[in-house]
Amino acid sequence: MRRARPTRAAENRVARRRFLLTASAGLCAALRRSTRAAPAVFGEEEVSAERFRFRDGVQTRTLVARVLIEAADGGVLLESRDQRYWVVQPDELLERRAADAPFAYFDAKSLGAALQREAAEAGVRPPFDVVATRRYVICTNAGSRYAEWCGALFERLMAGFTTHWRSRVLRLHRPPAPLPAIVLADRSEFDRYAETLVGRLDPNVHGFYSPVTNRMVLYDLTASPNEPPARSWADITRKLAADPFNISTVVHEATHQIAFNSGMHRRLADTPPWLVEGMAMYFETPDLNSRNGWRTIGRPNPWRLRPFLAAARRGRILPLEDFVTAQEVFADPQTAPLAYAQAWALTYFLIKTARNDMLRYLRTLSRYAPLIERSDEQKRKDFTAAFGTDFAALQRSFLAYMSKLAMR
Ligand SMILES: [Zn+2]
């Protein structure tokens, strides 16, 4: 079975419950200012910071944050210096006052310390290592070698992603701060950690990215109770190559994180799942002939293509018109595998055959604001503005193209 990735779906459920509902209760209805929400980069521009004290469940938190959204009733969406988002309702807010200095993200060292504290709070087994690469900070109890291997893959992916999407239409940027990742020693550690963050995970989920916390969470996929740990990078690659989905998992989640931190998507915006997942899958096709297991972007993915075509032949795929707004099919474990396959196929088709339209569509989506729900009608309009209104014709060329691809 393919490693279904209800990851994002599970995250969505959490985010939706906690955030979209929150939003409809007033946060988005009465925006006083929705400005700095997901700034591109605030390189030169100074952003003010405030010190907040608020109730978070049973505990009280005090943190320095910037305000992303402020509702008329006093509810706020915050981002703290460790890149986490917080929704604070008026009745949870105990105190807020100006901070001494403008807002700045933690540097790599402080972020590493914050991740260690979080891991300890979540009951992860120490000791922790912190591995910092140019653009990542990885906290791990899997040993630093595996984390270094992951870091090198993340860096290659970020470089590849940036180059692939370089365009005057869609202006992406480097993440404004080092990206946080947590790599756990084994499956049971991963399950325990996930439970504190997003709830119980499906056994087929092998990693996730959380838009709320901006953390990517993975575990050592080479760890096995009956085998000695991987000794070298080559050893790690060899062990991971035993199952092509291993490397896909890592690349998939890392792509989500890059897309959400480079200005392609905005965290907590109502971006259609097919596009978010399709983008991650477009990058994930493993390359088992490569020394590092991953080298190329946008290769056809036979593990997605085959089930997609089989379903298409039996008339079991969703019509495009419905698919471009679909949510639930990605969350339901029964329908998720096919929904993901269809999302990969559609993304692949549009990037390969209508790249400029895709860029314009991505630019539109990148402007969706956090916590604001878009209606299906609005989403469909955004899609047709880029790709035309004739869904039936588009579907025909889509299916023809994908069938031809299978014969190559
Ligand atoms: Zn995903």
Question: Nearest to residue 404, comparing CAs of 334, 312, 314?
Answer: 312
Is 73 a member of any domain? Answer: no
Q: What is the tens place of the pLDDT at every residue in 259-298?
A: 999 999 999 999 999 999 999 999 987 665 666 656 667 8
Is 32 a member of any domain? Answer: no
Is 64 a member of any domain? Answer: no
Q: What is the tens place of the pLDDT at every residue in 10-32?
A: 444 444 333 332 333 333 223 33
Predicted local distance difference test score (pLDDT) of residue 9: 43
* CA 96 to ligand 1 centroid distance, Å: 36
* CA 46 to ligand 1 centroid distance, Å: 33
The model's pTM is 0.88
Q: State the pLDDT confidence band at 116, using cuts at 50, 70 and 90.
A: very high
Q: Are 366 and 265 in contact (CB under 8 A)?
A: yes
3-state secondary structure of 327: coil
* CA 73 to ligand 1 centroid distance, Å: 34
Is 276 a member of any domain? Answer: yes
pLDDT greater than 90 at residue 67: yes
Question: Nearest to residue 278, comparing CAs of 335, 358, 166, 215?
Answer: 358
Q: Are 214 and 254 in contact (CB under 8 A)?
A: no
Is 321 a member of any domain? Answer: yes
* CA 200 to ligand 1 centroid distance, Å: 16
pLDDT greater than 70 at residue 164: yes
Q: Read off the CATH number of the domain in which 156 is found.
A: 1.10.390
* CA 80 to ligand 1 centroid distance, Å: 24
* CA 44 to ligand 1 centroid distance, Å: 33
Q: State the pLDDT confidence band at 7, using cuts at 50, 70 and 90.
A: very low
Average pLDDT over residues 210-237: 86
* CA 59 to ligand 1 centroid distance, Å: 31
Q: Which two tokens stand for residue 261?
A: 């931190």
Q: What angle do CA 31, 35, 37 make, to 5 degrees?
A: 95
Distance, CA of 144 to chain centre: 24
Is 49 a member of any domain? Answer: no
Q: State the pLDDT confidence band at 408, using cuts at 50, 70 and 90.
A: confident
Question: Nearest to residue 372, comparing CAs of 18, 19, 117, 123?
Answer: 19
* CA 5 to ligand 1 centroid distance, Å: 6
Domain with 154, as residue range(s), is 6-13+107-407
Q: Are 33 and 70 in contact (CB under 8 A)?
A: yes
Q: What is the tens place of the pLDDT at every residue in 294-336?
A: 666 788 888 899 999 999 999 999 999 999 999 999 999 899 9
Average pLDDT over residues 110-131: 94
Task: Give the whole-number percent of the chain exceeding pLDDT 70.
Answer: 87
Count of structural domains within the chain: 1
State yes or no: cis peptide before 127, omega within 30 of 0: yes
Is 344 a member of any domain? Answer: yes
pLDDT greater than 50 at residue 231: yes
Average pLDDT over residues 62-81: 95
Is 330 a member of any domain? Answer: yes
